[in-house]
Amino acid sequence: MKKNDLIIDRAKLLSLLDKFIDREERYLQDAVKRQDSEDRNLFKHGKNVVEELKNMVENFK
């Protein structure tokens, strides 16, 4: 491990991922309201990626 490496508690990481998911959801809802298909797709995929990452962290053994 390097001197600058950071170790984070799993619960804290999951909490941060939840915040990212909430943010992406808010941005997605705004893009839908604005009928902006480019932003809608961007935020939809971003949310999916973070949800998948969260699932991986939750199920890591």
In this structure, what token pair is assigned to residue 55? 């699932």
**Structural domain contains residue 14:** yes
Q: How confident is the model at residue 61 (pLDDT cuts 50, 70, 90)?
A: confident
Total domains present in the chain: 1
Domain assignment present for residue 5? The answer is no
Q: How far apart are CA 18 and CA 28, in angstroms?
A: 15
pLDDT at site 1: 66
Q: Specify the 3-state DSSP secondary structure of 38.
A: helix
Closest CA to 21 of 60, 55, 61: 55
50 domain residue, yes or no: yes
Domain span at residue 24 reads 10-58
Give the pLDDT score at 37.
96
Q: What does the pLDDT look like over 2-55, one tens digit per residue?
A: 778 888 899 999 999 999 999 999 999 999 999 999 999 999 999 999 999 999
In a domain? residue 4: no
Residue 22 lies in a domain: yes
